[in-house]
Amino acid sequence: MKISVLGIGLMGLPIAQRLIDAHHSLTVYNRTASKLAPLQTAGATIAPSAAAAIAASECTILMLTDAAAIRELLLSDSSRSQLAGRTVIQLTYSPT
């Protein structure tokens, strides 16, 4: 399955690694691009933007920093049009 993970932090990194280990086609995006190097080495495709990551996959997993980041992504014109008809799994945990 083609899957994208947006947000490669404490939880996003191990989730992305497990998806690679399970032989899924993985595309990743993170605002801090340096966090993506281990995943690229493991076989993930690095997307230049969140919208590009969403467009690359059937399913997108969100592991963003907080509710504001989720709103910004989901309400942006480029991401909103890419999300139509795709599966989105929102795993962000934030008290805000």
Residue 4 DSSP class: E
**Which run of H or E residues covers position 17?**
helix 12-21
pLDDT bracket for residue 95 (50, 70, 90): confident
pLDDT digits (tens, 9 = 90+) for 24-42: 999 999 999 999 999 999 9
pLDDT bracket for residue 87 (50, 70, 90): very high
Domain CATH code at residue 9: 3.40.50.720
Edge-to-edge strand list for the sheet holding 25-29: 45-46, 25-29, 2-6, 59-62, 87-90
pLDDT digits (tens, 9 = 90+) for 39-68: 999 999 999 999 999 999 999 999 998 989
- Tell me if 95 is assigned to some domain: no
CB neighbours of 69 closer than 8 A, spacing ≥ 6? 7, 92
pLDDT bracket for residue 78 (50, 70, 90): confident
Domain count along the chain: 1
- Tell me if 33 is assigned to some domain: yes
Query: What is the pTM for the complete model shown?
Result: 0.91
Q: Tell me the residue range of the domain where 53 lies.
A: 2-90
Q: Please say whether the beta carbons of 54 and 31 come within 8 A.
A: no
Written as one letter, the residue type at 63 is M
pLDDT bracket for residue 94 (50, 70, 90): confident
Position 6 scores a pLDDT of 98
